[in-house]
Amino acid sequence: MVIPSALESGQAKSAAQSFNDPLSHYAAKLRNNRNLEPNELHSRRRLVQLEREPLRPSRRRGPNRTIVEVRDSTEMRLINLLERSFHYLSDQNYEQAVAALEQAAQLNPKEHFHAARTYLRALHDYPRALHHLNAYDALTPDFDDSDGLFPVSYLKGLCYRNMGNHAEAVRQFSIGIDSLALKHGSEWVNYKQYVSRAVSYLALQQPDKALDDLVIAAKNCPNFSPLVTYYKAKAFEQQGRPDEAKRTYQDALFFWQANRVKGIGQPEDQYNPVFEDDIDNASKQ
Amino acid sequence: MKRKHNQLLIFLLLVSVRSIAQSPTPAQLVGTWIGESTEVDIGWVRPLPWRMTFRADSTVEIALMANGERPKTVRWQVKDRAVQIDTVQFGAAQWTLRGDQLHINAWQPQRYRRFTDVPMDSATVRKAISSRTWSTDSLIYNLFDDGSVCLKNERTGNTTLHYWQLVPVESSIFLVIRGTHENPVNFSHFPLQITQAGSNMLTVRGWNGKRWGEFGFVRTGNLKPDDHCRTNDFQLCNTFLPPGDQKYPYYEYKKGRLGAIRRLVAREFVPVSGVTQAGLVRFRFVVNCEGKAGMFEMQTVDENYEPCRFDTRLTDQLRRIVQERITEWEPGKGTGNDTNNTYDTVCLLTFRLKDGQVAEIFP
């Protein structure tokens, strides 16, 4: 598999701006910004075109616009599959999307990551997500890859956690946290990683360790977080400190309502969704 | 006024994409053209309620087909076979004239029809059609005297509320139906030129979404003064919005969001013993701009994401919970500077089933 040199050498930004050239636009987006919004690509016209026609052969343009040189039919097929998967995702047709991504992963093992993320986020299919994450992680055994926000180990930890294996989840979360914390300091670790590890500690009945993580999470979170506060209260509860737990639940509820005033009505972390009435019910108990 | 101008520019820009076809001569363009339809995407044709009047004095009048909408007059010219309207230039090959039909070939192709004047008296037409029930081969129109119209689709049983008006173009009269229960002026239907208005028969000329032609409306009843439109509970606010333009999966539920739904299902769903099926049951529906849910569809796949059929004792329970028990939705809102407006939104609610039980619920 040939990765276009232009993409590797920093022309990706202009590639992403070249909307008239689907090859360069999508390829650049796919390789450099995996947080692509499916809405960007929605058009039945484009999907039908992709299903009916193969992509056009390689094109080379002037230096300002030449982004992707498609060197072989495998790469054309790969880009076609990835484009189709995004269209299916934007149509919320997740089954077709993962079918295309499975094929894409066979052509390019790096696409295991994309398949894993779709299984994890859209289908909540943790065993399949884990399978693809392991395959992706095996490409670089000595390096914990990242999707730009979270390391692969974190996503693997989420899979294990949702499959009920909290001990392995803690181990995976720790790989991601420790590698960054030891190198640059704990303040560089996304607070949601600490929350996720704390949730697993709580499931393992280890509230002290959970509380340690949540204290760091609270420091790293830019705002008052109902999510962090809610799990702090849970930790207090497990430690047998009911008064502090009740007070902390009330704080969490206050933070949630404050967020609502600001127009934030959704849980702050989709992997650890905490809702207003979760907090409300817990505080009443 | 600025908004109108922007609308006009957007309208012109939408069609200013290069394509290959033969362009008409300036003399052929002179006259009035009535918008038929615009193809937004494959399988999605939207009404094009615009009128363009090209004059020989190099002015063109562009107007929405609605009363009270002031037309915009700008200049036009043909230069090097390219047509320039106001500040927007269309490529030479972008315009195609086939008989009395004008195609603007673009990413969203537009079709116009040369206007043929059929003089009608507005007061006479109003008197003939108002407070009457009219039927076509697919729709029943209840044209109320207060300007509202109830459209009933006999095939689907769906009844929706809109507003009607008679719009004059030269000496002709167009029946224009627009608006929804939520907003009386948005989303025009295909304008219909009235060519004959009798007490029992109404003949119109226009595009019905599938073909252009003359259609007959047969009077099937009279409306009493105290009659009013009885719509279904659910009506889209954005009638002609293709799915891609609806906001991307929006998900809020007034009573505690997903957490409340999970608790509701835990309370009301009765596991079915002896069923070993596993997979996903996904409901796709629309929450309209008022927070009402409708247009439910159910899709079922097995663990390998292949379509399958689940035991109806499972799916019927889930269908009842989703359609009847979860009712208080919050409408989807715009993003950025558009957070005050609400929109029809496509929502998903997925149940992962295992051994006759609900293992997980997610959007």
Could you tell me which chain A residue has the CA closest to the CA of B256?
Answer: A277
B45, B257, B342: best mutation site toward chain A, by most A Cβ within 10 Å?
B257
Chain A 78-97, CB below 8 Å of chain B: which residues?
Answer: 90-92, 94-95
Does some domain include residue A50? yes
Q: What is the pLDDT of residue A68?
A: 43
- A113-166 pLDDT per residue, tens: 999 999 998 999 999 999 999 999 998 887 777 777 788 999 999 999 999 999
**Spatial distance between the Cα atoms of A139 and B26, rounded to a whole number of angstroms:** 64
User: Which sequence spans correspond to the domains of chain B?
Assistant: 2-114, 122-222, 246-362
Count of domains for chain A:
1
Q: Is the pLDDT higher at B21 or at A95?
A: A95
Does some domain include residue A126? no
Please tell me which of the candidates A44, A92, A265 has its beta carbon nearest to residue B249: A92
Please tell me which of the candidates A45, A90, A275 has its beta carbon nearest to residue B257: A275
**Spatial distance between the Cα atoms of B90 and B81, rounded to a whole number of angstroms:** 9
- Check pLDDT > 50 for residue B322: yes
3-state helix vs strand vs coil in chain B, percent to 5? 15, 45, 40
DSSP labels for B169-192?
ETTEEEEEEE--SS-TTSS----E
For residue A113, what are its two tokens?
């990551």
DSSP labels for B18-80?
----PPPPHHHH-EEEEEEEEEEETTEEEE--EEEEE-TTSEEEEEESSTTPPPEEEEEEEET
**Spatial distance between the Cα atoms of B274 and A222, rounded to a whole number of angstroms:** 50
- A223 vs chain B: nearest CA distance in angstroms? 21
Q: What is the pLDDT of residue B225?
A: 84
B246, B248, B299, B348: best mutation site toward chain A, by most A Cβ within 10 Å?
B248
Expressed as residue numbers, the domain containing A104 is 1-108
Does this chain's domain B2-114 share its CATH topology with B122-222?
yes
Chain A 37-56, CB below 8 Å of chain B: which residues?
Answer: 37-39, 42-45, 48
Right CATH for B122-222 from 3.40.50.620, 2.40.128.570, 3.40.50.300, 1.10.390.10: 2.40.128.570
Q: Do B339 and A265 touch (CB under 8 A)?
A: no
Q: By the 8 A CB rule, do B42 and A44 touch?
A: yes
Query: Which of B68, B49, B305 has the alpha carbon at shortest distance from B193?
Result: B49
pLDDT > 70 fraction of chain B, expressed in percent and rounded: 85
Q: Using the structure block, give the residue that is written with the tokens 């997903």.
A: B258
* DSSP state for residue A56 in the 8-state scheme: P
Does some domain include residue A228? no
Does some domain include residue A236? no
Q: Using the structure block, give the residue that is written with the tokens 């992403």.
A: A16
Going by pLDDT thresholds of 50, 70 and 90, the confidence category of residue A35 is very low
- A49 vs chain B: nearest CA distance in angstroms? 10
Q: Do B244 and A37 touch (CB under 8 A)?
A: no
Q: By the 8 A CB rule, do B48 and B35 touch?
A: yes
- CB contacts of A278 in chain B (<8 Å) are 256, 259
Q: What are residue B216's DSSP bridge partners? A: B203
Going by pLDDT thresholds of 50, 70 and 90, the confidence category of residue B128 is very high
Q: Is the pLDDT higher at B150 or at A277?
A: B150
Q: What is the CA radius of gyration of chain A?
A: 22
- Check pLDDT > 60 for residue B220: yes
Does some domain include residue A129? no
Q: What is the pLDDT of residue B10?
A: 53
Architecture of domain B2-114: Beta Barrel (2.40)
Please tell me which of the candidates B256, B330, B352 has its beta carbon nearest to residue A276: B256
Query: Which of B134, B116, B350 has the alpha carbon at shortest distance from B222?
Result: B134
Could you tell me which chain A residue has the CA closest to the CA of B255?
Answer: A277
Q: Do B305 and A43 touch (CB under 8 A)?
A: no
Does some domain include residue A72? yes
- Check pLDDT > 60 for residue B78: yes
Cα-Cα-Cα-Cα dihedral sign, residues A208, A211, A215, A221: positive
Q: What number is the average pLDDT over the span B272-300?
A: 88
**Which residues are CB-contacts of B346 (< 8 A; sequence separation ≥ 6)?**
A92, B243, B246, B247, B249, B250, B284, B285, B286
- Per-chain mean pLDDT for chain B: 83
Please tell me which of the candidates A42, A123, A267 has its beta carbon nearest to residue B244: A42
Q: What is the pLDDT of residue B31?
A: 93
Query: Which of A104, A43, A111 has the alpha carbon at shortest distance from A77?
Result: A104
Does some domain include residue A256? no
For residue A223, what are its two tokens?
């705002």
Please tell me which of the candidates A48, A92, A276 has its beta carbon nearest to residue B348: A92
- A223-277 pLDDT per residue, tens: 789 999 999 999 999 999 999 999 999 999 999 888 878 777 778 888 888 888 7
- Check pLDDT > 70 for residue B186: yes
Q: Is the pLDDT higher at B330 or at B22?
A: B330
Q: Is the pLDDT higher at A171 or at B104?
A: A171
**Helix ranges restricted to H, chain B:** 2-14, 26-29, 122-129, 257-268, 312-320
